[in-house]
Amino acid sequence: MDLFLQFLTNGLVIGAFYALSALGLTLIFGLMRVVNFAHGEIYMLGGVTGWFFTSYLGLNFFVGLALVTACIAVLGWLVDRFLIERVRGQGEEPGILLTIGLSIFLANFTLLVVGPAPLKVAGAVSEAPIFIGPIVITKLRLTAVLVTIALIMAAHLLIQKTRLGQAMRATFQDSMAANLAGIRTKQVYAATFALGCTLAALSGMLLASIYSAQASIGGLVSLKSFVVVILGGMGSFAGAIVGGLLLGVAEAMWGGYVATGMVDIIGFVLVILILLFRPQGIFASHAERA
């Protein structure tokens, strides 16, 4: 039983990061209808820029987090205004091809600049263990999870309670009506893409403080984010959170009881099962558009 609780805790910790990363993907897809294949590379950039600010320049972790937020938000804004904007309204294929090209560019550019070696982000606290009954968790992991929960809540409040969030929902329900009502829809599209990219990048930086960031990790992250979004339901904010936690727990249980070397397989098994028995995803019957 003690071992089960430890695996469950490990799964919920990693699942929180999966959820934060997938929120960015489901936000961009659910609101903008853009299938972003560069999502994993944006996540990777979050880890690499986080390493640059904290380990290379020696800045405080939370200062680095704020700088990564600003840098990736600007990058996401520029990508939407100068790239995505050019193919908007032309169907899904041009957007897919564009984001695939962007992912290749970002991965190779990062390889050229920092190389293929793992890069560790300097954490906010030490890795000293905390004992909660039979469960052991490090201070670093607990802090990262608390920051992740705060970011998820902040994203939810931004979308549901602010004027920008209202403008986002109005634009993606009927962009023409929103335009006639005076909403600057191009700015709303750019802000949404920037928000989705920022959530992915922050997830990358937080997880790189526990493990490490690598220029070549984007492809696997994109696949896992798509797994989470399919599990939870396309465009569902709550579905991304539940899907992320489900994938994290499933991987932890599989790695703990079955085989650690094949842990990535369980995500694809879950996708096959969900497509067979509930292809719309867990939350699709009452899906909320982020």
Nearest to 191 by CA among 63, 62, 32: 32
Please write the tens of the pLDDT for every residue from 247-288: 989 988 888 888 777 777 888 888 888 888 888 777 765 544
pLDDT attached to residue 284: 64
Q: How far is CA 173 from CA 32, 58, 63, in A?
A: 10, 45, 36
pLDDT attached to residue 24: 85
pLDDT attached to residue 287: 45
- What is the secondary structure of 104-156 as a DSSP string? HHHHHHHHHHH-SS-BPPPPSS---EEEETTEEEEHHHHHHHHHHHHHHHHHH
Contacts 24+ apart (CB under 8 A), 164-173: 164/188, 164/191, 168/31, 168/192, 169/31, 169/289, 172/31, 172/32, 172/289
CA dist 223 and 217 (Å) reads 10
Q: How far is CA 95 from CA 101, 128, 204, in A?
A: 10, 45, 23
Q: Please say whether the beta carbons of 26 and 283 come within 8 A.
A: no
Region 105-109 average pLDDT: 94
Following CA atoms 78, 82, 87, 88 in sequence, which dihedral angle do they give, to the nearest 10 degrees? 50
pTM (two decimals): 0.89
Please write the tens of the pLDDT for every residue from 141-183: 899 899 999 999 999 899 888 988 888 888 877 778 888 888 8
pLDDT attached to residue 87: 86
- Confidence category of residue 289, pLDDT binned at 50, 70, 90: very low
pLDDT attached to residue 23: 86
User: In the beta sheet, which residues pair with residue 11?
Assistant: none
Mean pLDDT of the chain: 87
